[in-house]
Structure formats: structure tokens, C-alpha cells
Amino acid sequence: MVAGYRLRARTTSPPSVAPALALREGDRQRLAELARLPSMSSGLAKRARIVLLAADGMPNARIEGTAVASRPTVTGWRDRYAAGGIGALKDEPRSGRPALIDEVDVVVATLADDGRPPARLGITYWSARFLGAEPGISSASVARIWRKWGIQRTGPRRSSSAPTRSWRPRSATASGSTWTRRRTPSWCRWMRNPG
């Protein structure tokens, strides 16, 4: 006894083992397909693996380490499968504000008049920035919609593999034959003399 406190030996109980999850008829094969198909979302594949491991009788603590998920996640997906089967493993609708951008309007505006913008804009092709400015949405939203619908913009593109000119005209004289090398900034003189 230390200063009026009774010390007790710390006892640890063995980890509780959840019973093996009973799968419905035909679900084992379908879950195995979901877990290994590359076309499935990674979240759905992980949920299918969790349920399969639980059906094999693996304890939740080991499933947690194998599937790289937290204990509440493992028990949650076990419970959801037990309550609703494979259909319960799919994502539920998310809460939050519904989308304000009508994707169909963006696609129609992109493809209308053979993909050409109105003449009043003075441009020959749509860019995400110009198309977004028309209805007042961001260019990132336009680009996301184009990717989703598989629309590729037409017109000049910037290419990261295009060669850069290291020579430029010295002045805009009539001869046009005077070329000079660009001056290297003083802060990167080491690029010219790397030694």
C-alpha cells in the first residue's frame, strides 16, 4: 500500500474475437470479384476485402492491420454487410449542397455552333476560362465537366514538350537578321559556368 492507495496488478483481458461473418449465398464470389477488379473504386474494393476477411473468421484487430482501416471502420462495414448485403457496401448519397452547375448547359455551350464561340467574343475556339466566364462559373469546373464528358477542346494547345527558343531577335529592325543569345540573369550565372 502506497500512501493510502492499494495497488492492483494490471490485468489484460484477451482481445475479443468477433464471430465469423456469415455470407449470403453467392456473395463470396461476387465479393472476391469486387476486391480484385481494377475497374472498381478503391473504397468498394477495400470494403469487400474487409467483409471477406471477416467471413474467414479473422479477428477485427488483424483485419484492421491487413486492410489498413481503423477498428470502427471494420466493425461498421461488418455491420452494414450483415444488415443489407453487398448493396449496403456501396456509397450512400453524400450530404451537402447540391451542385449549382448544370453540366448539360456547359456541354451544349461547348458543342453548339460546331464548337465555335460567338463572334462577339473575338476568339476562334473555346477555352475553359472563356466558357466559364459566360455563365459565371470557374474554369476549373468547366475543365472538370469536359473531362467527365470526354470533351477535348479544339484550337492551339500549349505543349510542355515544345522546344523553347533560346535565341530571340535583338530588335524589330527591317533586316530582322540580328539574333542574340538571351542574357542569363545574375543570380544564375552558375548555369553558364558550372565549374
What does each of the 195 residues of the chain score in pLDDT, given as a tens digit? 556 666 666 666 555 677 888 888 888 999 999 888 887 788 899 999 999 999 999 998 899 888 888 999 999 999 999 999 988 988 888 888 877 888 888 888 888 888 888 888 888 888 889 999 888 899 999 999 999 888 887 665 555 555 555 545 555 555 555 555 556 565 655 555 655
Q: Which domain holds residue 122?
A: 103-149
Q: What is the rounded CA–CA span in Å between residue 154 and residue 137?
A: 20
Q: If we measure between CA atoms, which residue out of 112, 116, 118 comes closest to residue 155?
A: 116
Give the DSSP H or E segment for 142. helix 139-149
Report how many domains make up the chain.
2
On whether residue 22 sits in a domain, the answer given is no
On whether residue 53 sits in a domain, the answer given is yes
On whether residue 97 sits in a domain, the answer given is no
